[in-house]
Amino acid sequence: MSAATLSPTQAADMADSPISLRAHLRHTGALIRRNLLWIRQDPESMFDAILFPVIFTLLFVYVFGGSIGKSMGGGQDQYVQYVVPGLMAMMGMNMAQGVGTGFNQDFNSGVMDRFRSLPIGRGSVLFAKIAVELMRMLCATAVLMVVAVLVGYDIHRWAGLLASVGLSAVFGSALMWVFLTLGVTMKNAQSVQAMGFLVLMPLQFGSSIFAPTASMPGWLRHFTDYNPLSALADTARGLMEGGPVAHDLWVTLIWSVGLTAVMAPVAIHKFRTKA
């Protein structure tokens, strides 16, 4: 019996049965191709990946760069070297929010009901989503670095730059599991965006991404010490500009592994059981 003639119940039973790793990879590859074709048909879906790094880089460099750079003992040029690695660390977080809203919209449009009626591994749908969002994150990072060079950023360590991009992708993929879970459980995309805003804003601005934490009040510095975005941003600076990275690197990896270990099974379970 072909997949086209299977009833939803039969297909679900087949999907719940053990599927080989080779089949999972084949299903994931097909779904990645489907998602990329959708982006090709709807190029506006790439606007956030292209415009976000441009707007944030220009905004923080030219609005805050002079004053914050002066407080750091330098000027705008010094602030550029400081903020660009932080903005790179922020790419994964902002792309993660997008995967949650897109996943929710697919559910509300009935696309996910079609996927769940097919005899494919449930995890393949989610892994394909993450893979495509990581590609979008790499595009956003490339745009960020082009704009950064244009406003005066000096790339001192190419190997450190590549390592920072890889680490941002690791943390971003871990965070995507959180937003995939929100995309399954929340009623609409607006709710996912609102919840994402409540989570992202304190993490972004209560960190070392945009400014050093030395002048922050004590209670806020304690928060930044445990904020994974601070650890990721400081690791990127150490890799790209030079400096100690071991502690912040381990903190970032622990957060990434912990989020993935906890949220990936939850997201897959919610996807399998969503009514």
Quickly list DSSP for 101-170.
HHHHHHHHHTHHHHHHTSSS-HHHHHHHHHHHHHHHHHHHHHHHHHHHHHTT-----HHHHHHHHHHHHH
Residue 160 belongs to some domain of the structure: yes
The share of the chain scoring above pLDDT 70, in percent, equals 90
Segment 108-165, tens digit of pLDDT: 777 776 776 766 776 788 888 899 889 999 999 999 999 999 999 999 889 999 999 9
Residue 220 belongs to some domain of the structure: yes
Residue 23 belongs to some domain of the structure: yes
**Nearest CA among 202, 237, 195, 199 for reference residue 216:** 202
Element holding 264 (H helix, E strand): helix 246-273
- Residue in this structure with the two tokens 């010094």, named with its chain if needed: 78
The share of the chain scoring above pLDDT 90, in percent, equals 29
Residue 171 belongs to some domain of the structure: yes
User: What pTM, to 2 d.p., does this model score?
Assistant: 0.84
Answer yes or no: is pLDDT of 268 > 80: yes
Residue 80 belongs to some domain of the structure: yes
Angle, helices 158-185/228-241, rounded to nearest 10 degrees: 160
Structural domain containing residue 174? 19-273
Residue 10 belongs to some domain of the structure: no
Average predicted confidence (pLDDT) for the chain: 83
What whole-number distance in Å separates Cα of residue 48 and Cα of residue 169? 17
Residue 205 belongs to some domain of the structure: yes
**pLDDT at site 252:** 93
Instruction: State the total domains in the chain.
Output: 1
Residue 266 belongs to some domain of the structure: yes
